[in-house]
Copies of this chain bind each other. A is one copy, B any other.
């Protein structure tokens, strides 16, 4: 059992507590609007550099770990976090205001993610092996023996999300995928949930020690404001960045990374309004179910999900009016939930005020405010398609349970509306699967797929399945790099690069490309997939 006793706690650099030199912080219980839990010291620049140095030193040994050692370490991380689960959930409830059931689910997702990446490491497809054996008699030139595999980029700086204090924080998707790739991680702790972060970080550091890995494989750093983040991203030992947070924060890190002497990739998941389109045919169906589904998706976790629906497109006319009326009814019965921090709550209130003040926008309905502080009522506004197309700022993300319903005249206009939109994580269409098969619907899908990473039908965008096919990404500004996903097994690809070995003798061939295939990987040989051998009977 991990415990946080005592008044003052510190960053973990290579598994060791390091008292910071730059003052202290405490978390704020958002439901009380008051400090909670112990103090955490903040590191200075030299101390942050020491974490990057430890990661760099650990890289040499860590990247060479066998699949079984690396996978067992990830599984142990999951075990250690599960062991500390009760205390982690209690700390997270206090620090984030999220309800217990949500946090227990998120804890399970976090450990499941680590175990998923352990499986990914054991399967080994991420080595991306391609072999072209020598063709000495080929004309006009012989072909050399070519063996390609991927290598981890090096130490990764990860910045966690406030809204997923477990599944996208210290041991979340970015950390798990970077570790699986063979990259040590320096994690910049989120100051909104320091105790949660330290409990998880302690568990992960124990897993590092369990397997005799160098401590620098994982460090957790607390630091003041954005300075520590900027320092990490400029540190020459850091080779890639994972970030989940605001558009301002993400674009600042992108600019810093691009301005380095040696630029590095930044994978930032930033901002999305996740438009939902209700086609006329869907309005003739179960409008109660639509209204229920929408309000549940909007108000879950106080709307603080990257994929929460911020725009709902509903056809004009009596059926659409009826759907909006039902939404208004459901909303009246909905209760606000405590938001993550007072700052996030005030940004959300300002965003709603700005939206409400735009000419042509009117209120559909409000729920009730929640108990305690920082629990604003969920709110829905509406406008027409012409106002939406012309007024600036109507498609900007308001992080929280605020949605704008846009009433459109003809579904034919939707593709044009979509073409004016920025990149999104998701886009959703409600339709009649029997009848909505024509060119018009197809055109809408083709507009959407160019602007989003995930296209859903007859569902709601919140709730992201963590598996092999998932894409949680999308064109800028949804992410910094629409070529990647931050959720699911393909997230590992962000932290790898290919190398080819030409005529390297077998004795010096790395295991993934070795003639004997000692790791029993599926490999591509002469462009043809060759599966791993079925496991031997032993």
Listed in ascending order, the chain A residues whose CB lies under 8 Å from chain B are: 60, 64, 105, 108, 123, 130-132, 140-141, 143-144, 146-148, 151, 153-154, 254-255, 258, 262-263, 265, 423, 433, 436-437, 441-442, 445-446, 449-450, 452-459, 463, 465, 467-471, 473, 475-477, 480-483, 485, 489-490, 496-505, 507-508, 510, 522, 524, 526-527, 529, 531
Q: Known: A449-B499, A490-B498, A498-B490. Contact between A524 and B458, CB under 8 A?
A: no
Question: Which 4 residue pairs of A and B lie closest in terms of their CB atoms, listed nearest first?
Answer: A258-B258, A437-B507, A130-B469, A146-B469
Which of A123, A147, A148, A433 has the most chain B CB atoms closer than 10 A to its own CB? A148
Q: Known: A496-B483, A522-B529. Contact between A502 and B454, CB under 8 A?
A: yes
Residues of chain B within 8 A (CB-CB) of A476 are 262-263
Are A500 and B148 interface neighbours, CB within 8 A? no
Among B490, B505, B526, contact of A457 (Cβ-Cβ < 8 Å): B505
Residues of chain B within 8 A (CB-CB) of A500 are 453-455, 469-471
Which of A131, A132, A473, A498 has the most chain B CB atoms closer than 10 A to its own CB? A498
Known: A146-B469, A153-B483, A471-B499. 5 other contacts (CB 8 A): A131-B469, A454-B499, A456-B503, A457-B508, A459-B502
Among B144, B265, B445, contact of A459 (Cβ-Cβ < 8 Å): B144
Residues of chain B within 8 A (CB-CB) of A458 are 503
Are B508 and A437 interface neighbours, CB within 8 A? yes
- Cα A499 to Cα B436 in complex, Å, equals 21
Among B146, B450, B483, B496, contact of A470 (Cβ-Cβ < 8 Å): B146
Residues of chain B within 8 A (CB-CB) of A258 are 254-255, 258, 263
Are B151 and A450 interface neighbours, CB within 8 A? yes
A130 to chain B, nearest CB (A): 4
- Cα A294 to Cα B235 in complex, Å, equals 38
Among B105, B442, B482, B508, contact of A441 (Cβ-Cβ < 8 Å): B508
Q: Known: A263-B480, A490-B498. Contact between A433 and B505, CB under 8 A?
A: yes
Among B60, B265, B436, B459, contact of A483 (Cβ-Cβ < 8 Å): B265
- Cα A148 to Cα B490 in complex, Å, equals 11
Among B503, B526, B529, contact of A529 (Cβ-Cβ < 8 Å): B529
- Cα A254 to Cα B456 in complex, Å, equals 34
Q: Known: A263-B476, A459-B503. Contact between A442 and B498, CB under 8 A?
A: no
Are A529 and B531 interface neighbours, CB within 8 A? yes
A534 to chain B, nearest CB (A): 12
- Cα A529 to Cα B507 in complex, Å, equals 30
Interface pairs (20), CB distance under 8 Å: A60-B446, A105-B140, A132-B467, A144-B465, A146-B465, A146-B469, A154-B450, A265-B483, A433-B505, A437-B505, A437-B508, A453-B497, A453-B498, A455-B500, A457-B508, A470-B500, A471-B500, A483-B498, A485-B498, A522-B529
Are B452 and A499 interface neighbours, CB within 8 A? yes
Residues of chain B within 8 A (CB-CB) of A469 are 130-132, 146-148, 500, 524
Residues of chain B within 8 A (CB-CB) of A465 are 132, 141, 143-144, 146
Q: Known: A485-B498, A529-B522. Contact between A455 and B504, CB under 8 A?
A: yes
Residues of chain B within 8 A (CB-CB) of A445 are 504, 508
Residues of chain B within 8 A (CB-CB) of A531 are 529
- Cα A522 to Cα B123 in complex, Å, equals 18
Residues of chain B within 8 A (CB-CB) of A483 are 153, 265, 496-498
CB nearest neighbor in B for A513: B469
A514 to chain B, nearest CB (A): 13
A225 to chain B, nearest CB (A): 24
Residues of chain B within 8 A (CB-CB) of A510 are 449
Are B524 and A498 interface neighbours, CB within 8 A? no
- Cα A524 to Cα B140 in complex, Å, equals 36
Residues of chain B within 8 A (CB-CB) of A501 are 454-455, 457
Which of A130, A141, A151 has the most chain B CB atoms closer than 10 A to its own CB? A130
Are B265 and A503 interface neighbours, CB within 8 A? no
Which of A452, A455, A477, A510 has the most chain B CB atoms closer than 10 A to its own CB? A455
